Amino acid sequence: MEVADGLGVHKLACTKGSYAYFVPGAVPVLVDTGLPGRGPAILQECESLGGPPAHIVITHYDVDHIGSAAWLQEATGATVWVSAEDAPYIAGERRRPGMKRVVASLVRPAPPKAPRLLRAGDAVGPLTAVPTPGHTPGHLAFYGAGFAAVGDALTVRGGRPVPMAGLLTWNSAQAAQSVAKLRAAGARWILPAHAEPFWWDGSRISSV
Ligand SMILES: [Zn+2]
């Protein structure tokens, strides 16, 4: 469903729990791909909103974000984009730090083939990649017109935007700085993976 009337970005209901977002239009872009096995449902939902994605951008290397990337790439021919810093973890060339090493050894989705690398300020269709490190070394948010898809750069606890739990975080100080950066970027819709989208004016959050 569209996050807000006329905003032009849709929350994919089939990815509830680890939301992927879809921006239809001349250059349709999918942000994240949910868990492994969600590919067919994601593709069907994108098609109901106007067509398959031409590009897939990934916020970070976790399994619940890259899970269906390879399947969707194969099914649609979409170009997959990942941050240069997280790319070696996604490819399996470098082992994830902390307890994510355990998760990654239990759930091993096929990595997307030959993903393109994103750096600060790169544009993919209507979205711009903005580094928001902390949750992972190369975590990216994607800014669009009036919104930011923020992956796991923040979640909502007690009605407030906060970094993800420390145990799941690569660098807590950087994660806190990234939340401050998102706050400083000005009022707009914030689209997290693990919370419902909300409007943030920098102090209070709302969903209206
Ligand atoms: Zn996540």
Sheet bearing 79-83, strands edge to edge: 10-11, 21-23, 29-31, 55-57, 79-83, 116-118
Sheet bearing 147-151, strands edge to edge: 123-124, 127-131, 140-144, 147-151, 188-192, 198-200, 205-206
Phi, psi angle pair for 167, to nearest 5°: -60, -30
Class of domain 10-206: alpha beta
CA of 27 to the centre of ligand 1 (A): 25
Q: What is the pLDDT of residue 104?
A: 66
**Cβ atoms of residues 88 and 94 within 8 Å:** yes
CA of 150 to the centre of ligand 1 (A): 10
CA of 77 to the centre of ligand 1 (A): 24
CA of 151 to the centre of ligand 1 (A): 7
CA of 62 to the centre of ligand 1 (A): 6
Q: What is the pLDDT of residue 208?
A: 54
Q: What is the pLDDT of residue 57?
A: 98
CA of 153 to the centre of ligand 1 (A): 9
The domain ranges of the chain are 10-206
Residues of the chain short of pLDDT 70, as ranges, are: 99, 102-105, 208
CA of 135 to the centre of ligand 1 (A): 9
Q: What is the pTM of this model?
A: 0.95
